[in-house]
A and B are shown apart, each in its own frame.
Chain A
Amino acid sequence: MRIELLNKYFKMDQLPHIWCPGCGNGIALGAAVEAIDNSTMDKDKICIVSGIGCSSRASGYLNFDSLHTTHGRAIAFATGIKLANPELNVIVITGDGDCTAIGGNHLIHGCRRNIDINVLVFNNNIYGMTGGQYSPTTPRNARTSTSRQGTVERQFDICKLSENAGATYVARGTVFHYKHLIGLIEGAFKNKGFSIVEILTPCPIQFGRRNKTPEPADMMRLLKNSTSFSDDGKTKIGVFRDEKEPEFVSEYIKLLSNEGDISV
């Protein structure tokens, strides 16, 4: 992240952040801030909404209107905000557990409505804040504090899930591919509809240490080597969907009028 953006968009008195050494959340947030800076959005009309978890602490570090909500509910709060004031640019910062486990229902219904909200999912494949339990995106066989012999459950593909639920902008990037990631987030901001960017980010402390990649550099290398811009069997990164469809709030406000009798 360009250093001048720190003073411009961060609440310096709220730093240092709570994230562990080697965590990728700072890079993901940096990319989001660069995308905000590159956009033409009125900075007083930006609203950051987050849930609960490591990534969700991001909202308190940024110098915008910001709402740190309950676990999993960020998209639901954001829905109320966007409908109440359609002028606002609503950015949800959430994690894999927050967004796809406890908040999974709100995610799919946000997608279905195609409400103009931008969701950035910091996916580190683990519940970091509570000490490393498996999440809906933990790979099979990965070891976590609640799956010490290896995770038995299958994992969600957040992009496929969102795309099939109706999101109109769906992309995946990583904190290793930083410039690419900024472009993906900019694409989300440009879409008038439900946009979601899955950001793969390392958690060396809670995930790496249990899965033979304890060093932050190992995990970054893994991100580089396990992802690809093409369909070659690796985890694909890039834009999966970017289409125009009727957006919920702009459709709803067509119903509004001022014909009500004031003495109800």
Chain B
Amino acid sequence: MGEALLMQGNEACVRGAIRAGMRFFAGYPITPSTEIAELASLMLPKYNGKFIQMEDEISSMAAVIGASLCGLKAMTATSGPGFSLKQENIGYASMTEIPCVVVDVMRGGPSTGLPTCVSQGDVMQSRWGTHGDHPVIVIAPSTVKDIYYMTIKAFNYSERYRIPVILLLDEVNAHMRESVVIENDVEIWDRKRPLTRENHKPYAADEDGVPPMGEFGKGYRFHVTGLVHDETGHPTNSSEEAEKLIRRLHYKLEKSRDDIVIYEKFKTERCRTLIIAFGSVARVCKDVICQINDDSIGLFIPYTIWPFPDKELLSLIQKNRIERIYVPELNTGQMILEVQRIVFGRCEVLGINKYSGELITPTEIIKCLRRG
């Protein structure tokens, strides 16, 4: 067991990122994510890493992608309105398969909304914010400890699958302070490198659907474009190549889906009623489960909300013959749509929604459960 440190959620994110090997951060100030940029600016130079405060969120995302192409693990952090601006280049990273981590600390919206208040309104933006068909991984930690270790996971996934990974925090867990035990052994993954520079085809994928990635300035002399491209990286109008590329972008995640999804079942052994919650609401629900001390109610926490642990949820529903599911979220009902898709009428699915900018309390949830 390693050392226990008291830290804020945003701080855990930066420390986890540096532990994962982050050596580049570009950002733009925005509440409630700003501490991430502040701490990155302070810490990175001590690790020979680079920090830059760009002129806006669009350019921060661009700079992160540029740095990643030079071989550095790179991250940016923002919140609602800034997350909207980053979408353009998140799509670019997705299409060009450039690893990067994007932190979105959710706050009340739409628009400028409630800058200092909590929300979970970006569930769908994190999945579909950028245009076009694209795969994405979105990880939503619940506690400060989760944030530390799941930031590392976010880097690992982005490196292994060459994909932008969204780390979805919220104002509550980002600003909360908790102790985190820093384990000595942590698994760190790096991107695959091409074996040779000869006849380098930057988008020729291995069996896992992921092409090894060269870096700029090492003699590969390769081209990267957001246009549909073939294995050489050059643009093509071939409908065959277009379909092949889009299929592979999705395939690489589908193939490794079981290695990617993260979830937790909490006291679900005998439950017939299930609560499904993520982020800071999940910890509220843990408290609910402990308070009511009734083994007919259990909790399912998806940590990868995209891809959602659908197989795992479905098998729990079938095994336990779940009769009713509650989905508490700090929005008007976003994750519940995915839950309904999976449940497909097998049982009742009810939302518990709060969008006042305040965290939902255990009492409020218990009231809903008792109301039936």
Contacts and interface: CB of A to CB of B under 8 A. Distances in A.
Interface in A226-263: 252, 255-260, 263
Interface of A: 11, 14, 44-45, 47, 49, 59-60, 63-70, 73, 76-81, 83-85, 87-88, 105-106, 109, 252, 255-260, 263-264
B216 A65 contact: yes
B62 A66 contact: no
Contact of A263 (B2, B24, B62, B221): B2
Interface in B27-68: 43, 45-50, 52, 54-56, 58-59, 62-68
Contacts of A84: 24, 50, 66-72, 74
A258 B70 contact: no
Interface in B218-263: 218-227, 234-235
Interface of B: 2-3, 15, 18-19, 24, 26, 43, 45-50, 52, 54-56, 58-59, 62-72, 74, 88-89, 92, 182, 184, 216-227, 234-235
A68 B224 contact: yes
B182 A264 contact: yes
Nearest to A263: B182
The interface centre, meaning the residue of A14, A66, A77 with most chain B CB atoms within 10 A of its CB, is A77
B62 A70 contact: yes
A28 to B, nearest CB: 19
B254 to A, nearest CB: 27
B45 A60 contact: no
B217 A88 contact: yes
Contact of B48 (A45, A49, A66, A256): A256
Contact of A260 (B43, B54, B68, B218): B43
Contact of A68 (B56, B71, B226): B226
The dominant DSSP class at the B interface is mixed
B39 to A, nearest CB: 11
Given A63-B221, A80-B64, A84-B72, A252 B59 contact: no
Given A76-B54, A264-B19, A88 B216 contact: yes
Contact of A73 (B59, B67, B184): B59
Contact of B217 (A47, A68, A70): A47
Q: Which of B43, B66, B68 has the most CB of A within 10 A?
A: B66
Nearest to B20: A264
Contacts of B220: 65
29 contacts: A11-B223, A60-B234, A65-B223, A67-B216, A73-B58, A73-B62, A73-B89, A76-B54, A76-B58, A77-B62, A78-B66, A79-B59, A79-B63, A80-B52, A80-B62, A80-B65, A80-B66, A83-B24, A84-B24, A85-B216, A85-B217, A88-B216, A105-B56, A109-B54, A109-B59, A260-B18, A263-B19, A263-B182, A264-B18
Given A77-B63, A83-B63, A65 B222 contact: yes
Q: When A and B form their complex, which 7 residue pairs have the shortest distance between CB atoms, in order from nearest? A: A80-B66, A80-B63, A76-B59, A76-B62, A84-B67, A260-B46, A84-B70
A235 B3 CA distance: 67
B70 A85 contact: yes
Contacts of A70: 62, 88-89, 92, 226
Contacts of A88: 70, 216-217
A79 B52 contact: yes
Contacts of B221: 44, 63-65
Chain A at the B interface: SS class = mixed
A184 B315 CA distance: 68
A67 B98 CA distance: 12
A69 B96 CA distance: 10
A73 B3 CA distance: 43
A226 to B, nearest CB: 34
A259 B218 CA distance: 27
A60 B223 contact: yes
Contacts of B52: 79-80, 83, 252
A66 B223 contact: yes
Given A44-B219, A66-B222, A83-B24, 13 more contacts: A45-B217, A65-B221, A66-B223, A68-B227, A76-B66, A77-B62, A81-B216, A106-B55, A256-B49, A258-B46, A263-B2, A263-B19, A264-B18
Contacts of B49: 256
Contacts of A64: 221
Contact of A80 (B24, B88, B184): B24
A255 B45 contact: yes
Nearest to A49: B66
Given A255-B45, A257-B48, A83 B219 contact: no
B18 to A, nearest CB: 5
B62 A67 contact: no
A227 to B, nearest CB: 32
A106 B18 contact: no
Given A76-B62, A84-B50, A85-B70, A47 B216 contact: yes
A195 to B, nearest CB: 18
